[in-house]
Structure 1
Amino acid sequence: MKHVILVGDGMADYPLDELDGRTPLQVADKPNMDSLAAGGSCGLLKTVPDGMEAGSDVANLSIMGYDPERYYTGRGPLEAASIGVELSDEDVAFRCNLINADGVINDFNAGHIETSDATRLIEALNQHLETPGRFYPGVSYRNLFVIPGRGYRDVRTYPPHDIVGEAVDEHLPQGSEEALHIRELMTSSRKILESHEVNLKRKSEGKRRATMIWLWGQGPRPSMEPLTERYGLRGATITAVDLIKGLGIYAGLDNIEVPGATGYIDTDYRAKGRYAAGALEEYDFLYIHVEAPDEAGHAGDLEEKIRAIENIDRLVLGPVLDRITEYEHRIAVLPDHPTPVEVRTHVHDPVPYLIHGEGVKGDHVTSYDEKEASKGSLGLMEGHRLIDILMNP
């Protein structure tokens, strides 16, 4: 039996006036998703428990079958696993964004800085900032900072994508004594980065500079029972996003590297679909994640969000469906959380989901979107229960 979860990050949205009161999912041309919904079961999934931040880390942890209230320790340790940084029991890992700010946060990604530029800037931070911790390069603006000391777990930090356009000084870390050191690192990074030759070159080329770091999402190493042991399967992730790779590592999944997969709107959808279809021969379980709709939502780009949904349907889901019919199978399709284009950040609302395949009874839903899925036979369910339903419908 083959099992597939396809996550279109941030696909869900709110009804929009410019779409005559419809959502991007309702407007998008997505025949594969609609066909699966019509032949399977639908419902709403609560991927973010009450009182927790609506982050992709929490939501995807939930979708993978782990109750975030029990297993979530922070975003940083997930990204540490993805880039091969082993954490001791005393270590605390922070996500380290390279951002553009000049008193206010202009963006949370330094103009989607190239990985080669980001790596050089991270190296400069290790050379010039005084700290017992260490910075590690990741992909683009998504990097890592690891520091020993359990007190760093209690620092109050803020996701930068939630505070674009707001004052830097109003959102610097707070809380424990260790927060003072984290604040100092963030503010001291400005002088190092602004004068670096990478940023001077970016300025001359008309690109946005990385003017400071933003540390957030910290936590210790989590303890998770691997899915491979729980269900006796061999599985893999297909994603360009470090936190999903890290979740997969803790869950016992391999990660399949896809050339051209960027974790942005320019990702190579065709390559993702081709590699996913090919992986079905070797793996029992695939967790396919596409970041593009979320990035479009953060940018407030309605047309790009609709285009991303359509590309996922045609270029990723299509090839998977063509190949998976060779096997007994079950497949789930869903967002991890909504990222409405009007809000430009994640929200807590439940997401529409569908399950299709062997042993799944159909319901009266005829298309896949927020409104139709709410009428489905699966009703409203906690996110971490999805994988049990998928494995044992």
Structure 2
Amino acid sequence: MKYIIVLGDGMADEPIQSLGGKTPMMAANTPCMDALAKKAEIGLVKTIPEGMSPGSDTANLSVLGYDPRIYYSGRSPLEALSIGVDLDDTDIALRCNLVTLSEDGGYEDKVIIDHSSGEISTEDAAVLINEVKNYFENEVYKFYVGTSYRHLTVWKEGEVVPLSQPHDILGKVIGDYLPKDPALKKMMKDSFDILNNHPINIERKNKGLNKANSIWFWGAGTRPALTSFKEKYKKKGAMISAVDLLKGIAVGAGMKVIEVPGANGTLHTNYEGKAKAALEVLLKENYDFVYIHVEAPDEMGHQGNVMNKIKAIEYLDQRVVKPVTEGLEKAGVDFRLLIMPDHPTPIRCRTHTADPVPYMLYDSREDKKNIYLFDEIDAAKSGIVISEGHTIIGRLFHQ
């Protein structure tokens, strides 16, 4: 038996007037998932424990079976694991985004336009982060290149301080959301002067792209300690994701991390490459479980782009779910498949919410007759609600 989770990050949403009251999941053309849903279990699952922030960190820990109330120590430390940074017990890891700020006025009066700097390439971002590193790195603060706009700073013998998530304050004046810590605040402020007229940003502006003109610190945390996935579930597991957070969770859990060329966390990621890698690790390398993470729906939700969010869901259906299920069927392998978002990222607010999300659990051996579709509204009608998100993987594994 093979086990698969296909995670459409931020895929869940709310009814949208311009879509005739449908959600993007309802509006998307998803023939493969529609066919699976007719023979699957449809329900709702609450991935975010009460009182915790609805981040991809807490949500994906839940989906992988790690109760965030026990295992969560901050987002950035998980990303540090992904890029091979070994944290000391007294280190604080910080997410160091490259963001787009408006150019008029003083730093505190600027508006945050884009948390992802137009989904900047890792190659361009590396040049800019290294420029920042040249100015700011010392014995206390260390800078590390990550992926696209997502990078890492380690604060030696630092402290976990409150920091605002940039995707939560899009379109807002940043003054009230800057760090209270004076050193962090000064680095962010000075980074604008370093980056705004950098040749890469001048070129981006000439091409009509958003500049990556400031760093933004958030997601402070301490060294994580995850139980081995294999010990916990008696399954050999692999992770396929373009996002350092997910790869970091996998490293911490002792799972295999599969790097797919061209997988970049954007709408134009290498979907087919992810599907192919999943089949190879399951069928050729004889792994029991694979987690296929697709970031694109979340990014489109943050951008407030409803049509591209629909497109991301359709790509997930046709370019990931379809080839994976067809490949397993062709190989004559029994499998159980869980498809779900980690959290909603509604177009309305362009950030995460803690609402329960729909899930679909399909077993290739069963011939169920199900009347519910795989979307937010029908999942609620099904009457199945899993209140503890970290238990859903046990449902997948029949444990």
- TM-score in terms of structure 1 length: 0.94
Where does residue 170 of structure 1 map in the other structure?
176
Match of 1:201 among 200, 203, 213: 203
Structure 2 CA distance for aligned equivalents of residues 234 and 190 of structure 1: 45
Describe the SS at the equivalent of 2:373: coil
The 3 A distance-change label for structure 1 pair 363 and 187 is: farther
8 Å Cα contact 2:142-2:154 kept in structure 1 = yes
Describe the SS at the equivalent of 1:354: strand
Match of 1:294 among 298, 301, 314: 298
State the 1:285 CA deviation.
0.5
Where does residue 4 of structure 2 map in the other structure?
4
8 Å Cα contact 1:42-1:365 kept in structure 2 = no
Where does residue 147 of structure 1 map in the other structure?
155
Q: How many residues align?
A: 387
Where does residue 128 of structure 1 map in the other structure?
135
8 Å Cα contact 1:41-1:363 kept in structure 2 = no
Where does residue 216 of structure 2 map in the other structure?
214
Describe the SS at the equivalent of 2:38: helix
Describe the SS at the equivalent of 1:356: strand
Where does residue 377 of structure 2 map in the other structure?
371
Describe the SS at the equivalent of 1:87: coil
Structure 2 CA distance for aligned equivalents of residues 62 and 137 of structure 1: 27
- In structure 2, the gaps of 5 or more residues are 103-109
8 Å Cα contact 1:365-1:375 kept in structure 2 = no
8 Å Cα contact 2:95-2:153 kept in structure 1 = yes
Q: Is residue 280 from structure 1 mapped to residue 282 from structure 2 by the alignment? A: yes
Structure 2 CA distance for aligned equivalents of residues 130 and 189 of structure 1: 12
State the 1:361 CA deviation.
8.2
Where does residue 398 of structure 2 map in the other structure?
392
**1:84-123, aligned counterparts within 5 Å?**
84-102=84-102, 103-123=110-130
The 3 A distance-change label for structure 1 pair 329 and 197 is: same
State the 1:278 CA deviation.
2.3
Where does residue 76 of structure 1 map in the other structure?
76
Paired letter, 2:319: L
State the 1:34 CA deviation.
2.0
Q: Is residue 20 from structure 1 mapped to residue 11 from structure 2 by the alignment? A: no
Describe the SS at the equivalent of 1:280: helix
Describe the SS at the equivalent of 1:94: strand
Describe the SS at the equivalent of 1:69: helix
- TM-score in terms of structure 2 length: 0.93
8 Å Cα contact 1:270-1:315 kept in structure 2 = yes
Where does residue 251 of structure 2 map in the other structure?
249
1:64-97 Cα offsets, whole Å, 9 max, x none, are: 1011111111110111111111111111111100
Structure 2 CA distance for aligned equivalents of residues 241 and 184 of structure 1: 28
8 Å Cα contact 1:93-1:144 kept in structure 2 = yes
Describe the SS at the equivalent of 2:381: coil
Structure 1 CA distance for aligned equivalents of residues 365 and 333 of structure 2: 13
8 Å Cα contact 1:11-1:294 kept in structure 2 = yes
8 Å Cα contact 2:133-2:143 kept in structure 1 = yes
Structure 1 CA distance for aligned equivalents of residues 206 and 379 of structure 2: 49
1:150-209 Cα offsets, whole Å, 9 max, x none, are: 4x21x11011011011112110123xxxx2221122112122222433323333444322
Where does residue 66 of structure 1 map in the other structure?
66
8 Å Cα contact 1:105-1:164 kept in structure 2 = yes
8 Å Cα contact 1:115-1:140 kept in structure 2 = yes
Q: Is residue 156 from structure 1 mapped to residue 162 from structure 2 by the alignment? A: yes
State the 1:331 CA deviation.
0.9
Moved >4 Å (runs of 4+): 358-361
Q: Is residue 311 from structure 1 mapped to residue 295 from structure 2 by the alignment? A: no
Paired letter, 1:53: S
Where does residue 137 of structure 1 map in the other structure?
145
8 Å Cα contact 1:332-1:390 kept in structure 2 = yes
State the 1:39 CA deviation.
0.9
Percentage of matched positions with identical amino acids: 45
Structure 1 CA distance for aligned equivalents of residues 242 and 356 of structure 2: 24
State the 1:377 CA deviation.
5.7
- In structure 1, the gaps of 5 or more residues are none
8 Å Cα contact 1:45-1:350 kept in structure 2 = yes
